[in-house]
Each structure stands twice: as C-alpha cells, then as structure tokens.
C-alpha cells in the first residue's frame, strides 16, 4: 500500500479518529498480533481500503495509539495539577487523574504496555517524554522549597513506576477497586515515606 497522509478535511479527520478508536478497542482487547486490519475496519464500520488512506500499516496505527496515549495522558495530568497549590497536592491530583484515565480507557493503557514488545522505541519514547517533563516539575518544586532536595529524575521514574503498578493492580486487574482509597494510601506514602 502507498504512504498514508494526514487528512485535510473535517470528514477525513473524523474518519481517521473513528479508525483510531476502533484500533484502540481491537488491539487493546485482542493484542497486537491477534488484531487484524479487517477487524479494525469492521469495528470502525468502514471499508478495508479506507484504512490505507489514513494508515500505511497496523504497525503505524499502533505507534499512533502509543503516541496518542502519551499526549493525552500528559495533557490530562497537566490539567489535573494546574490548580494544585503546591507539588504535594499536585502529586495526589496527578495520580488520581492518571488512575481515572486508565479506568476510562483501559484498552489504550494495555496498548502502551504491549508496546514494550511490539515497538520498543515507541514504548521508550512514551516513558522518556513523560519522565523528562515530570523531573522538570519536581526540580521546579525543589527550587520553590515545596519538596525536599533529591535526584528529580530518579524520583520521577519512581513515582511513574508506582502509578503504573497501581494502574495494573487496581484498575486493570480489579475494576471494582476504590480509586480514592488507593490514591489516599499511595499519597500518604509519597508524602511521609515508610519510616515510622
């Protein structure tokens, strides 16, 4: 198939988004290997050939979904923490927003997890972009005296790891978990540590 291009019309943008949502559902449920372009277009209620107007391959649509998860997650967390009075409050708001996002779009979250094997560069880029921005926020909070001094990059990756593990355990594996309780407990540990 030829090289796919970005649509220029509202109708084209809407059709491309429709295919992306269908790909999110199909790949996020069945996994990359089992998912087919035919199934994606069936769920999108569009012709098979239409897929290739917008995407050159299943790999491209997968990469696009990982990229989208990164953009949407960063924007959503940034919006959630924008009005926080300080970094400690921002940590709680950001964690809650992230877990609620995973709850709302578990298929997209699963796609990012599968990217570790399907597209390692996209997977690494997703976490690296997030980690870089997170570390910068932590450095700014240190400069303001809102948090203790420390290695902002290590802290950012540790906090990201915590959020990811909590998303797995209390959203993907248990869709009845009390997210507020999980956030309260995790936030208590973030702010007070484990020391008695």
173-190 pLDDT, tens per residue? Answer: 998 999 999 999 999 999
Q: How confident is the model at residue 35 (pLDDT cuts 50, 70, 90)?
A: very high
Q: How confident is the model at residue 6 (pLDDT cuts 50, 70, 90)?
A: confident
Query: Using H for helix, E for strand and C for coil, what is the string for 71-84?
Result: HHHHHHHHHHHCCC
Phi, psi of 4 (to 5 degrees): -75, 150
The whole-model pTM stands at 0.88
- Nearest one of 90, 89, 99, 163 to 130, comparing CA atoms: 163
Residue 133 has pLDDT above 50, yes or no: yes
Q: Could you give the CA distance from residue 61 to residue 180 in angstroms, rounded to a whole number?
A: 34
pLDDT at 75: 92
Helices (H), strands (E): how many in the chain? 9, 0
Task: State the average pLDDT over residues 4-22.
Answer: 87
Q: How confident is the model at residue 196 (pLDDT cuts 50, 70, 90)?
A: confident
- Does domain 59-192 fall into CATH 1.10.10.60? no
Q: Could you give the CA distance from residue 137 to residue 152 in angstroms, rounded to a whole number?
A: 8
Q: Could you give the CA distance from residue 196 to residue 38 in angstroms, rounded to a whole number?
A: 57
Task: State the average pLDDT over residues 62-83.
Answer: 92
Q: How confident is the model at residue 4 (pLDDT cuts 50, 70, 90)?
A: low
pLDDT tens, residue by residue, 88-127: 999 999 999 999 999 999 998 999 999 999 999 999 999 9
Question: Among the CATH numbers 1.10.287.130, 3.40.50.300, 1.10.10.60, 1.10.760.10, which is that of 1-56?
Answer: 1.10.10.60
| Residue ranges of domains in the chain | 1-56, 59-192
pLDDT at 1: 42
Residue 2 has pLDDT above 90, yes or no: no
The answer to whether the beta carbons of residues 40 and 19 sit under 8 Å apart is yes
pLDDT at 173: 93
In the DSSP assignment, the letter for residue 146 is S
């Amino acid at each position: 198939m030829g090289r796919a291009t970005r649509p220029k019309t509202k109708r084209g943008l809407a059709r491309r988004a429709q295919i992306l949502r269908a790909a999110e559902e199909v790949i996020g449920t069945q996994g990359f290997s089992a998912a087919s372009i035919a199934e994606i277009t069936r769920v999108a209620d569009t012709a098979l050939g239409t897929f290739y107007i917008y995407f050159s391959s299943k790999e491209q649509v997968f990469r696009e979904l990982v990229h989208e998860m990164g953009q949407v997650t960063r924007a959503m967390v940034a919006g959630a923490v924008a009005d926080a009075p300080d970094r400690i409050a921002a940590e709680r708001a950001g964690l809650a927003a992230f877990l609620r996002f995973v709850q709302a779009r578990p298929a997209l979250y699963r796609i990012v997890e599968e990217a570790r094997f399907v597209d390692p560069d996209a997977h690494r880029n997703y976490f690296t972009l997030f980690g870089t921005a997170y570390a910068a926020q932590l450095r700014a909070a240190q400069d303001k005296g809102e948090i203790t001094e420390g290695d902002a990059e290590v802290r950012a990756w540790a906090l990201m790891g915590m959020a990811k593990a909590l998303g797995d355990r209390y959203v993907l594996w248990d869709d009845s978990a009390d997210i507020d309780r999980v956030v309260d407990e995790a936030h208590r540990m973030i702010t007070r540590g484990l020391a008695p």
